[in-house]
Amino acid sequence: MIAINLRNLYLISREDFKNLFKNPMWLFYNLVFPILLIVVLGFLQKDNYGGAVSAFDYYGITLMIYTVISSGMTSANAFMEVTIRKPNMRIIYAPGNERVIYLAKIVSSFGFCLLCHLTVAVLTFTLFKIRVDAIPQLLILLVLTELFSVGLGVMFCCIFKTEATANQILSIVINIFAILGGLLFPMEGYGAVVRSLSYLSPAKWLANASFAMIYDHNFAWFYPTVMGLILAIIVVFIICAKTFRKEDCIC
Amino acid sequence: MNAIVSVNQLKKSYNQKPVVREISFAVQKGEILCLLGPNGAGKSTTINMLCGILGYDGGEMSYRGENISSCLNRFKRNLGVVPQDLAIYEDLSAEQNVRFFASLYGLKGRELEEKVSKALDFSGLQESRKDRAKTFSGGMKRRLNIACAIAHEPELLIMDEPTVGIDPQSRNHILSSIKKLSQHGMTILYTTHYMEEVEEISTRILIMDSGTIIAEGTKESLKEDIFDERQFIMEIEEDQCLNVDEFYKIEGIKKVEKQAQTLTITTLKNIENLDKIIALVITSKTKIRNLFCRTASLENVFLRLTGKSLRD
Ligand SMILES: Nc1ncnc2c1ncn2[C@@H]1O[C@H](COP(=O)(O)OP(=O)(O)O)[C@@H](O)[C@H]1O
Ligand SMILES: [Mg+2]
């Protein structure tokens, strides 16, 4: 029983993983678009930065965070996109637990996004000489955030039942996270209320933790951020488990 | 009895609206059981509950006498499903599709490859096995949809309207492959709203309408049971001497209609009166050019049972 579930989880994840690579849109979205964003914002803002931190140093990190918290768009697509929904039904007909469906979507999108985003990071960080430090810790943050994001995408599909609604809500949530976290423009100078609100955004914690580690070797933000992410991942998985219904796979 | 699956008092409502109303039936080993009903009758809902993809509000289902929920995986392993809508990956080739779905049933290695190849052969897709499904015609996609359901050689194959919207050639291919599968020992539950398909392949029929099974039997027995009448249709050479009212003196005659050159006589089936009818026509100096007997079609059976026609 466990053997067939694990085997099917592996088979379905592998198939979905390959399918993601066959979709030019998702390759563009996860590989090309982040590089473009970093290049464009890095050049545009070049004159507003100077000294120790260049525009690329800043946007290289924040836009990487932005990209990674957007991974849910990919997992929502891999889960419930119209052309994927129908074959999903066959997975439910097959022996084994139907939960392998959404778990497989999480696993495959996680692998796909992680691979794409690592490539983006390696390319942009070397090309634009973006300063990094504490690489193992940054990698831990990357992996955890990636898992949280793809889980969030699947969770929204489980809650809202269609990819279209899930994606709409998800993109609002992601952009609120990004703006509050100061990923697109700094939020300093917007007053105390905004500043305390900004701590609701995981992006804020990620940005603070990353910059503190890179520039100050300060790990004070790192541990609470890791704990928060692990907690958020657990919550996301619980909500997925509670809201997933195989009926929603019928189409 | 040799029931593979039996369904007892199964019911399902959507927003308080009953869609399947306490239906009971069994699928016997080796048969081609057709579930016939118009769109919206509840066929897919029934099938989806049976395949375990849809929950139900009440009733029981059993597989070989054992409650399905307690042997779900064994049941699923022996079940093949062709869903109403195409359930294939458009970006994968025919072969990759069949291989992937068959592998979910625990097949691997040589055995997997052999069965994939067999299913592709069977569906007439061997030559296009390397082509991506998105390049296929509607009929080929339908056949691939079937290949994905039979590669693991299930004991019971459930097909939900597998021929909707395809060309006659593909439809014939599918119907004859269903008969072939049945000859190889597969048990088949087939839903459709096409009468002709039922006439062609069924060994037994369930007629479903508005969530209930309103009749059950072979195509012959259904026609027998429901119609105690038959019609003689005569093409005659017009003659003024023919008095329609005279026919009603013959035993068993229910209705006589004359329209130009055609005489339609409805009579009780179990009364032998054709000789008297012919004698009357001849004595009226009317020439019979042609005579045929119309027995009920399933279409009539359905019309009689529900007061509405199958086609919408
Ligand atoms: N998810 C659903 N929500 C509400 N009503 C539904 C749903 N699925 C089916 N129905 C209704 O149930 C009835 C039976 O549908 P279905 O089983 O698909 O019929 P068939 O397959 O015989 O055409 C229809 O009236 C349909 O509108
Ligand atoms: Mg249907």
Residue A236 — pLDDT band, cuts 50, 70, 90?
very high
For residue B312, what pLDDT is reported? 52
For residue A71, what pLDDT is reported? 94
Residue B37 Cβ contacting ligand 1 at under 6 Å = yes
Residue B43 Cβ contacting ligand 1 at under 6 Å = yes
Residue A42 — pLDDT band, cuts 50, 70, 90?
confident
Give A119-160 pLDDT, tens digit per residue. Answer: 999 999 999 888 888 899 999 999 999 999 999 999 999 999
Nearest to residue B81, comparing CAs of B164, B150, B179, B10? B150
Residue B38 Cβ contacting ligand 1 at under 6 Å = no
Q: Mutate one of B72, B99, B104 to test the A interface: name it (highest A CB count within 10 A).
A: B104
Question: Which of the two residues, B308 and B250, has the higher pLDDT score?
Answer: B250
Nearest to residue A219, comparing CAs of A125, A117, A134, A115? A134
Would the pLDDT of B238 be above 80?
A: no
The verdict on a CB contact (< 8 Å) between A93 and B91 is no
The verdict on a CB contact (< 8 Å) between B85 and A96 is no
Mean pLDDT of A244-249: 85
Give B111-125 pLDDT, tens digit per residue. Answer: 999 999 999 999 999
Q: Name B27's bridge partners.
A: B5
Q: Name B25's bridge partners.
A: B7
Mean pLDDT of A220-239: 95
Domain, as residue range, for A109: 2-249
The verdict on a CB contact (< 8 Å) between A83 and B89 is yes
Residue B142 Cβ contacting ligand 1 at under 6 Å = no
For residue B53, what pLDDT is reported? 87
Could you tell me if residue B302 is inside a domain? no
Could you tell me if residue B310 is inside a domain? no
CB B87 within 8 A of CB A86: yes
Residue A106 — pLDDT band, cuts 50, 70, 90?
very high
CB A29 within 8 A of CB A74: yes
Clarify whether residues B111 and B214 are in a common domain: yes
Instruction: Starting from the CA of residue B206, give the closest ligand.
Output: 1
Could you tell me if residue B60 is inside a domain? yes
Cα of A93 to nearest chain B Cα, Å? 6
Residue B33 — pLDDT band, cuts 50, 70, 90?
very high
Mean pLDDT of A37-49: 86
For residue A47, what pLDDT is reported? 79
* Among the ranges given (A19-23, A189-193, B27-31), the one the predictor scored with the smallest mean pLDDT: A189-193
DSSP string, B17-52: EEEEEEEEEEEETT-EEEEE--TTSSHHHHHHHHTT
For residue B311, what pLDDT is reported? 60
Write b or e for each residue in B183-197: b if 16 or more Cβ atoms lie within 10 A of its Cβ, otherwise e.
Answer: eeebbbbbbbbbbeb
Clarify whether residues B194 and B247 are in a common domain: no
Residue B310 — pLDDT band, cuts 50, 70, 90?
low
Would the pLDDT of A239 be above 60?
A: yes
Clarify whether residues B127 and B248 are in a common domain: no
Could you tell me if residue B110 is inside a domain? yes
Mean pLDDT of B217-242: 79
Q: Which of B72, B101, B106 sits opposite A90 (nearest CB)?
A: B101
For residue A193, what pLDDT is reported? 83
DSSP string, A93-156: HSSS-TTHHHHHHHHHHHHHHHHHHHHHHHHHHHHTT-----HHHHHHHHHHHHHHHHHHHHHH
Centre of ligand 1 to C-alpha B42, Å, is 6
The verdict on a CB contact (< 8 Å) between A250 and B53 is yes
Q: Which of B53, B85, B100 sits opposite A93 (nearest CB)?
A: B53
Tell me the residues of chain A between 79 and 138 that have a Cβ less than 8 Å away from chain B.
83-84, 86-96
Residue B41 Cβ contacting ligand 1 at under 6 Å = yes
What residue type is assigned to position A228 of the chain? Answer: G
Question: Which of the two residues, A170 and A183, has the higher pLDDT score?
Answer: A170
Q: What percent of chain A has pLDDT over 70?
A: 99
Mean pLDDT of chain A: 90
Contacts of A12 in chain B (CB under 8 A): 104
How far is the CA of B250 from the CAs of B234, B255, B266, B276, in angstroms? 16, 11, 12, 7
| Distance from C-alpha of A94 to C-alpha of B102, rounded to nearest angstrom | 9
Tell me the residues of chain B between 103 and 132 that have a Cβ less than 8 Å away from chain A.
103-106
For residue B225, what pLDDT is reported? 72
State which of B198, B224, B250 marks the end of a domain.
B224
Mean pLDDT of A25-33: 94
Clarify whether residues B138 and B20 are in a common domain: yes
Would the pLDDT of B161 be above 80?
A: yes
Q: How many independent structural domains does chain A possess?
A: 1
Q: ipTM of the assembly?
A: 0.88
The separation between the first and the last C-alpha atoms of chain B, rounded to the nearest angstrom, is: 37
Q: Which of A22, A90, A250 sits opposite B91 (nearest CB)?
A: A22
CB A144 within 8 A of CB A233: yes
For residue A147, what pLDDT is reported? 97
Task: Give the domain CATH number at B281.
Answer: 3.30.70.100
Clarify whether residues B150 and B279 are in a common domain: no
Domain, as residue range, for B53: 3-224
Helices (H) and strands (E) in chain A, counts: 12, 0
Clarify whether residues B86 and B136 are in a common domain: yes
* Among the ranges given (A95-104, A190-199, B72-81), the one the predictor scored with the smallest mean pLDDT: A190-199
Q: Is B66 helix (H, G, I), strand (E, B) or coil?
A: strand
Cα of A246 to nearest chain B Cα, Å? 6
DSSP letter (8 states) at residue B53: S
Sign, CA dihedral A184-A188-A194-A196, equals positive
Mean pLDDT of B279-294: 85
For residue B1, what pLDDT is reported? 60
Burial of B244 (0-12, 13-18, 19+ CB in 10 A): exposed
Could you tell me if residue B139 is inside a domain? yes
State which of B194, B224, B254 marks the end of a domain.
B224
Clarify whether residues B233 and B217 are in a common domain: no
Global pTM reads 0.85
Cα of A247 to nearest chain B Cα, Å? 5
Nearest to residue B280, comparing CAs of B306, B251, B301? B251
Could you tell me if residue B214 is inside a domain? yes
Residue B231 — pLDDT band, cuts 50, 70, 90?
confident
Mean pLDDT of B274-288: 86
Q: How many independent structural domains does chain B possess?
A: 2
Nearest to residue A120, comparing CAs of A163, A167, A57, A67? A67
Task: Give the domain CATH number at B181.
Answer: 3.40.50.300
Clarify whether residues B132 and B268 are in a common domain: no
The verdict on a CB contact (< 8 Å) between A7 and B55 is no
The separation between the first and the last C-alpha atoms of chain A, rounded to the nearest angstrom, is: 27
Question: Which of the two residues, A89 and B241, has the higher pLDDT score?
Answer: A89
Could you tell me if residue B305 is inside a domain? no
Clarify whether residues B146 and B59 are in a common domain: yes
Could you tell me if residue B123 is inside a domain? yes
Give B82-114 pLDDT, tens digit per residue. Answer: 998 899 999 899 999 999 999 999 998 999 999
The verdict on a CB contact (< 8 Å) between B53 and A89 is yes
